[in-house]
Amino acid sequence: MIQAVRKRVRVQAGGIVAVQDASLPEGAEAEVIVLLAEAADADETEALPPLESMVGAAKGLFSSPEEIDQYIRDLREEWD
């Protein structure tokens, strides 16, 4: 199983990134992926909208959670 440690760090002079966590076993091999945050992401001032607000937001999608439930019920009835 893969263990993941997520940390926010500052890139130091020379592009150095240091991750320190007591749960990391000494001598273990790890893969590091660096994702640079954009200015808005770094401040975390913009929260992602809840998924419910995205229902019906695009053309051809359901307009409400109830409409999705009804569609699934109809499909189940077809299968029987």
Structure confidence at residue 76 as a pLDDT band (50, 70, 90):
very high
Amino acid present at 59: K
pLDDT tens by residue, 12-68: 888 898 988 888 889 999 888 888 887 655 455 556 777 777 776 776 777 788 888
- Residue 16 DSSP SS3: strand
* pLDDT for position 44: 56
Write down the pTM of the prediction. Answer: 0.40
Q: CA-CA distance, 24 to 53, in Å (whole number)?
A: 38
Q: For residue 74, what pLDDT is reported?
A: 92
Q: In this predicted structure, what is the pLDDT of residue 77? A: 92
